[in-house]
Structure 1
Amino acid sequence: MSVETMREIQAYGFYIMLIAMVVILYSYWFHLKKSEKTGRRDYEKYSNLALNDDLQDEILESVSTSSKDTNRSVKK
């Protein structure tokens, strides 16, 4: 395989990866906007997490405990 062929394959790979990363980025952005719009998550609360990190601050989300969650041990 010549050097020119390898460079051409490398260029095609670069553009394919670039397009894939752009698609992943925009799909993640769309997911965040959709989940915030439907009320599933409020990401503005999480933006203040670094500022409000004392022990006395309010909890962002409560975690529900069920029987399935309490038994998380690895079974062999």
Structure 2
Amino acid sequence: MDIAELQAYGYFALTATLVVILYGYIYHLYSKREDADGHDYEDYGNIALKDDIDDAPVSPISDDKEK
């Protein structure tokens, strides 16, 4: 086994590991959409698109203090 073959195996192993990490991270993002407080921050993705004065706010503001 020469160095080129060893590099090829190492490259394949590194690429496969990074693919598994990437898919794990993507799964984590879509399965845990809400944080610990229950906020879904994916709703804030449209904040720049829906910025007219007549559009509904992303998160409604209430005068009640939640505790």
Q: Name the TM tier (shorter chain).
A: 0.5 to 0.7
Cα 1:3–1:20 shift into 2, 3 Å: same
Alignment of 1:60 with 2:58, yes or no, is: yes
Normalising by structure 2, we get a TM-score of 0.60
What's the TM-score once normalised by structure 1's chain length?
Answer: 0.54
Higher RCO by CA contacts (8 Å cutoff, separation 6 or greater): 2
Identity %: 14
Give the structure with the larger helix fraction: 1
Unaligned 5+ segments in structure 2 are 62-67
Distance 1:10 1:16 in 2: 10
1:58–1:14 distance in 2 versus 1, CA, 3 Å: same
The CA deviation string for residues 7-44 of structure 1, in whole angstroms up to 9 with x for no partner, is 11000000000101011110111111xx29x852274x
List aligned pairs for 1:1-76, cutoff 5 A: 2-32=3-33, 35=34, 39-41=38-40, 43=42, 45-46=43-44, 48-49=46-47, 50=49, 52-54=50-52, 56=53, 57-61=55-59
Alignment gaps of 5+ in structure 1: 63-76
- Measure, in 2, the Cα distance between the counterparts of 1:42 and 1:7: 41
Number of aligned residue pairs: give it: 56
